[in-house]
Structure 1
Amino acid sequence: MDREARLALLFKRDRRLPDMDPGRPSRQTQMSADMSSGNEAMADAEAPPASISSVSHNASEAEEPAVKKPWHQRDSSIFESGERADPTAIEKGFCPLFALSRLPYKYLSGQNGRDIARVFFDSGQFWKQTWDLYYILPPRDVYEHPLTLVPAAQVEEFLQKIRKKFKCDLALPADPQHGLVLRFHEEAPQPQYLGRCSSSNDKERLMEECRRNAQNQVPPELSGLSEDSIQEYRKMLSFAVDASRRTSKAEKERKRKAKLQRQREWAHALRRGMCFFGLLPQRPTTTEGGQVQQTFTLRPLELNEPSPFDPAMEPIFICIDVESDERASRDAITEVGVSTLDTLDLVGVAPGERGRNWTEFIRSRHFRVKERRHIVNHRFVNGCPDMFDFGRSEWVSIKNIAKVVNSCFFPPYSADSTAPSNGLQQKGEIKEHKLRRRNIILVGHDVQSDIRYLRNLGCAVFQPGAVGGQSTHDGARKTTKPNQPTFVDTMDTNTLFQVLKREENHRALSVVLMGVGIVGWHLHNAGNDARYTLEAMVRMILASRLAMEGKTRPWESNSINWALKPMWPEPVLGPLAESFRQHEAAWKEEVQRRVNEANVEEIRVREDCGNWEIATGWSEPHHADDIDGGKPRGIVIRPSKKKKAG
């Protein structure tokens, strides 16, 4: 349809206009996709439909004036290309019900899928067909829920209606790997009849009955089958389960790998944190012949002794936290908290129990916006801007707040502000290493959110292009502009905590503090939150290093701190190697506990636990960065999304 025709429809207020856009699905199509699949317990998370089909539409010109390609010129799908299921398979076979209910949304693409969906699916037409429902219980390790089936002959009758309407050539595919036609041999377990369905209400009733039946049944025995028949049976049901999912097997694997990569990067950040504090050495050097030079032994960590290694890159940790008016936009910032910890201040200083000897060197600042001093959040969080517990709040005008926050990332890095609580360095006694440019590690709890706030505030150091997208091993100097801070890495206590506890979910700062044995007072004060976040990072890094040796401390929470596996050769590991067997036995028990307590399939829980084993170095495939976390990652400053005009 050309521009003039679309405008004509628009000014006539034709309600069909949104659905005539060939670049997007109709609202009805999207709603029906959710309705047709939202009630099945076995469904996975939804994914974009696969482009594997072609469909034609012979509606009148008044209904669809756009010119359409002939059927044979459209993209092919598994329903019209390749070998078709033979009549015997259709007569005696079964099809997974929910795979067919998603036909236009999962297997058909673009306008083709929308055409068929509008006529046969969008308004629940699929469930108004007459279906005889069957079910079978797959082996538990294949799938833990009943698999709902319909006779292939009924599916063929349904496809015949589509073929007649659209003059197309859709048919059930014969390839067993598609999982769309199942043949049960006589000696194999057979599907059980569930009932007849001709409406959505019938479907809901029968599915509930199926779930009740499945609770009192076990998968049928396969002992009477040959080994080859058992494998064939299991594969057939596995393919059918994959076909029934919203997400294709390939898409599911892609998401699993992406998730694993994120978890591995989080674990690498925790390893780099140990190197930054001198708790782990960086990876050993090699000779020209490729032999690793072993110049040390990784001995047990003693909290009453200084770090055994020099701090890698001698960085300064700067933690940020932002509070804003919960009733207004992201730009209405009311408080900014900044806490700083210099690793050069810690040289020769033992961390002490709870890391207190180190955290005493943290300098904390709390900036409040003068013009917004009356704003106190109370609807979603209990704000307490007057309760800064680590110094004196500093009042700054709106026009100067960005400049003041920027100054914290340059020499002397807040050393001229608040002295540490141990009094070892008083105001005015600024050491030389604070007067020169230093490597900075940005810290936060969900740090990207705080970066966005400060960028919107106008802080120059967080504007797109202000720093390089990624650092190099020499401290990001190659990617940082001369007049900007040298950000070498980012530490997010949100993801560090997930690695330490091997958890899938993000946790609030209050939960993280409890998880590392910190009592947080007056949270949601930006100054306090920045301070506690930095203290939590120190404790997590110490706890993770101790966990490598199987050690715990009374100040840790009741939940287990799971270790990153030390990836050093045996001569370097020394006594640490003794803790490996204990860890593996404890983790095996933990996995079983999670399986017993989960409300999802066992296979999914074990897959998640397996990902953590790989990410933390306890299972292959290993990564070179599993040794010391690899090169620092710098920080990424992403530009804000531009608002569309109009």
Structure 2
Amino acid sequence: MPTSSPIITGFYRYTDILWEWHQVISDPAEVSALKAFISNASLVDPKNPLRKAGADGIELYVGTLSATGQARLLYSSAQVEYIRYWLHAMGLTKELLPMPSSESLLTTSNLRNHTPVIYKTAEDLKKAVKMIDKNNKRLKGTDPALMSMRQSFERVRTFWGAKVGTWLAIDFEAWEREHTVLTEFGWSCIQWKDGEEICEEGHLMVKEHASYRNGTYVPDHREHYEFGLSQIVDKITFKRMICDMINGFADQGPLFLVFHDGSQDIKYLNSASITAPLNGLTYLLPESAPDTGLYVVDTSDMFAAMEGYAGERSAFVRMANLLKIPTAYLHNAGNDAHYTLLAMKAMASGNQLDVQREERWPHHNKGDVITPGSALKVQFNAWEEEEDYSDTEGVMASSIPHHEVEVATKLMSIDDEEIKDEEMLW
């Protein structure tokens, strides 16, 4: 008894649909109809039937090929099917157009990840194709560590977009002269209920360690928690509250522990002062959204993936500045946890990695001529990496000509003593 063939779903390369699909169609009028539908201008038109209700543009996909790690702009097979049916229903084709060759279909087994991206204008689509091509050339010969970070970045985006689990940023502060003396703990977490975010955060201080003050090597901002009231608890309660928190969230589903370079915080969690329940904790994120488990998400790795540099980790304040996240009273454990989760959310809720990088820092790659193996690293200007960048970027980046920016940057670097020396010359 004959059986029907299973329907295989997946993705088609945007360029294959644009340049190859029409070549299997013999009727010139039908070719014209297809070309008109899939033109960049048509795709971003608010009346295009592929456009989702409420979406501010056309949703396509960016996928990463398993074999090479390179990215491709994609249509879903469902979108391609819909194009065929819509053209036929509108009387623009006599029969349903043939599907593109099955050899060009990419299934999930061919892709490391795939994420939706919204394009608002025809120019956005045109730029996307060029940008992906340039980045693919840069990726050839890329450090495997950076490739791993890029893959993890997209998995974080996927899980966050699916509103899966609990995302818990935590931070400890310890006495600067003896790191086994824990003085503070801060947390900030997000869960979802009926699709809506539920936020919870707080700050604990250890009663017995109140006299152990920082200030020589590390700022002491213990009393400057910005997002609620601090709680002063004894050491036993401090330990119990942290362990109960982790157990409670882990019992509800997958728990993503969010750190910025969390090696020291994980040591604190495993120390005799806490002995947190971290059985099964892993740095490796699964390919699909998990139902259970304990996972590490590190914002320093996420930022390294987006910056395109797997070398020395970026300091938190530098990352926050470049992500345009204002901060206050860092080295308060509660504040640090709050800002860490905010940074993770900013990256995880943004567009696909390469698209997001260009949106955040346009024209920051080195040179226009791209050769295979050239660096992905974003080339920041010196003034962009300063702590007060967010206060000056609007003036310096948009309203001042480039040559005047260079002059202004040099003037900003002159200290008072140099000014006095210059005054003496006059």
TM-score (norm 1): 0.33
- Rg (Cα) greater in structure: 1
Normalized per residue, which structure has more strand? 2
